[in-house]
Each structure stands twice: as C-alpha cells, then as structure tokens.
C-alpha cells in the first residue's frame, strides 16, 4: 500500500511542479494591437459575457461582431476581463498524462480493495492472480494507467480553443498581452490615441 501511495504522490508532484513554477513566474506585459478579425471574449462588470470578432478599437470602445453578424460596441471601462483566441490546439500529451495518472491511482485503489488470496487446487487456477495486496495494487494501477493513457489521448485529440488574457488600458486605448517569460510573445504594435 505504501508503494502505491508513493507512486501516486510522485506522479502528482511531477505534474504539479511545472504548473507551480509557471504560476510563480512574473508575467511580461507587451503592448500590442489586436488585429481586426481576432476572436475575443469579454466578461463585463455586471458578469455578462460577450464573445465575437473584433472589428475595431476606439478610444473608449471595442466594436465587435457577434456570431449572428450583428455588431456590438463594448465600452472599455465596462470590461472586467478580456481574452483573445490564439487558435485551436490539441492537448494530447496533457490529457494522456492526466488520464494515466487518474486511472492508474483508481486502478491501484481498486486492486487494493478487491484483493483476495487465490485458493484453488486446479493446475493453473491461480496462474495470473496476484499473490499479495501489493501485487494487486501494481496490477490494478498498471491496467488503469494504460486504459487512462488511451482514453486521455483520445480525449486530447478533440481540438480546443486556446485563450490568452489581455489587459485593456482604457486611458490610452492600449491592449497589453500577458505572456509567461518562457514563451515567445506574439507580434504586435503599440497603439495610443
């Protein structure tokens, strides 16, 4: 049981460590212009959500086009959060790792809970049956990890929209793209009115 717990904690630390160090990095803010046609989504001060394509940025207004073709102006001082789409991606490796870890832990726990020593007088009656609880945990965890790896990989093949936070400075009508230091920033130009 200790071995399975050690393995589960080790996998969890391996997955969490990069996320933790990523969160501790200071973001770099680059002033950029969001190109017309860029897909954006905004959360307004009242909690209302808006998604559409950017038509233009004015001194105090973002003009967007919604899915139905209607235009909608958004006042910059009403926007609580603004994100731009950076395209669709397929997180196969991420989902495969999460699936393998989660299903591996579940399989190990299932092996521990359902273990019963095999008692039979037949020639090959206990051939593949685990002989100890630790072996049952390893077998259950291994089977679960393989199934989770396959299931997570298939789930990761579904394309998802990736969104990037931006900050809108309404005093100068500038958009600041927030990117982690280790990623390369996108192309853009500063704009002020």
**Could you tell me the residue ranges of all domains in the chain?**
28-87+161-179, 91-156
What is the model's pTM? Answer: 0.47
Residue at token pair 């001082």: 77
Give me the tens of pLDDT residue by residue for the chain, a chain 193 residues long: 666 666 666 666 555 555 444 444 434 444 555 778 888 888 888 888 888 888 888 888 888 888 788 888 888 888 888 888 888 888 899 999 999 999 999 999 999 998 888 877 776 777 778 888 888 899 999 999 999 999 999 998 888 888 888 876 644 444 544 444 444 444 444 444 4
> Cα separations (Å) of 97 from 1, 80, 93, 146, 173?
22, 34, 6, 10, 41
Q: How far apart are the first and last CA of the chain?
A: 65
Listed residue (73, 60, 64, 143) closest to 104, CA to CA: 143
Assigned CATH for 28-87+161-179: 2.30.30.100
């Amino acid at each position: 049981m200790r071995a399975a717990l050690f393995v589960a904690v080790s996998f969890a630390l391996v997955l969490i460590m990069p996320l933790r160090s990523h969160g501790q990095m200071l973001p770099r803010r680059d002033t950029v212009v969001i190109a017309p046609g860029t897909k954006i989504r905004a959360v307004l001060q009242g909690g209302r959500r808006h998604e559409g394509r950017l038509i233009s940025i004015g001194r105090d207004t973002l003009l967007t086009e919604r899915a139905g073709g209607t235009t909608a102006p958004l006042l910059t001082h009403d926007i609580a959060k603004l994100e731009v789409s950076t395209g669709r991606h397929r997180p196969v490796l991420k989902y495969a790792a999460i699936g393998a870890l989660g299903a591996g832990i579940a399989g190990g726990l299932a092996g521990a809970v359902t273990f019963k020593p095999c008692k039979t007088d037949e020639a090959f009656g206990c051939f593949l049956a685990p002989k100890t609880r630790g072996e049952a945990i390893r077998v259950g965890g291994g089977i679960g990890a393989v199934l989770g790896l396959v299931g997570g990989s298939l789930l990761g093949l579904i394309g998802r929209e990736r969104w990037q936070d931006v900050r809108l400075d309404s005093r100068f009508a500038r958009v600041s793209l927030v990117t982690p230091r280790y990623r390369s920033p996108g192309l853009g130009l500063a704009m002020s009115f």
